[in-house]
Structure 1
């Protein structure tokens, strides 16, 4: 019995020792593994930090390269736009500035004294080459001249009329119902007299050109010597506001070119301003009447708006100001 107890005790002791040894080895292995993992973790952190720094450098370099690329593209684009602007300017002419015309306002009307001087400039300067086929002398009545003055102006020209009772054409003095005479019989005669260029009709010139009146004024006053590197062939004149820069019409608006009837100094800018006012009226003679009708409609609309507002307040004031009381007793 004692022997069996000793044997059992020894077995238990040996098993306990093995368990203790196993636990110690397991703890040692865990400690070693933890240390190794920590060591490798530190190495891994260092490697990741290096990667992050490298990635940061690459990111900064990438941003720098992208910035340089954007700057290069922007510079190339600006150069391209400047080239396009220069090509557009050479093809379509220099953009004309905007001038403060007195008749441009909503409630502004034409300067009729300027229209009268402008007609004088057209008759003495422009009518030698340009026509105004859509304007009759009677259109000037009440705008720049009286009826008697228009009759005198129309009588200065001769109009071929007919046939008469004998079937023949005859010449007669002009009447207010006649239109402005054309300087040439046909387009071929006009081109032959102007070196192949055809002077356009000026009846609607301020509506037929972009930025009409500003363009015409800039064109009349924009003659200058061609800059260095620009050559203009013989028979043409340099004007940057004209498409292509070379125009067949010489500078016809000069200081003191005519003498105004009202004594206004006939400077080149004054003459150009007056003739542009005349051409603007010719292209849009109903502008004053249209603005007057618009002003009347605005006035009537304001009266109607006031009446509608008063009626609305009168109609809805009792409804919006009443008070509803709920009587739960009765």
Structure 2
């Protein structure tokens, strides 16, 4: 391999895919393709559905935020799924060193943006339930756009040192990444030098994002629950909690596999690599696929389109 960078002899990495399950790669590519297709399909029809609205109801005041979720989800799944399908179906395991760093940067950036958007939605639910009379004055379009822009800037700046710190490391002999995509710690572990700075920075970024964002989300929901249980009507309590159901589902889908993957990297030495990589892939592929369904579960246009993928001959009537 060419020595195209000072003290770095490796020009490409070899992505294994799912370690220990190489014989099943062909079959593993099917759920990856389905999740990828559902993600793209859901974004397309979610966008078309909103375009047909001439006067959005109160539930759609945050259309710019939902648009941001759609774009971020599409970018996240597009940065991982095509290469994974190439590995599983075409044996296209090799990836250029710099391309790997670019993929690493975008994956982790979009993940942090996704976390920021979940915080913004928790704030939306807090305002809608706890101070509903001020909803339209607090969550104006400029405020929503500023929240989205702040999230993008935060993610971009926090992740930028990761590939830059990797570029300074020597890579002499190890080039096999036991992963289905270029993940930060998986790449760092291959370096032929002390990686304490890389590891410390990676852990500090992950912990700061999780602690801050989950803390803000938890605070919002504590306030929401306090407000809900002060309501005298059971029906009113049910309706108030029902408005949070979609957001809670998205939080669980997004954070559960992410936390599992993070903890496995640090303390889960006995977890089989195949299980770790599967969960690490799920938290990148599942949220973009299910978010349009979760937020549009009552939207017949999206629901019928998804079901028609599997049952093209069936007709569905309006509920």
TM-score with structure 1 length normalisation? 0.20
Q: Which has the higher contact order (CA 8 A, sep 6+)?
A: 2
Q: Max radius of gyration: which structure? A: 1
* Structure with the larger helix share: 2
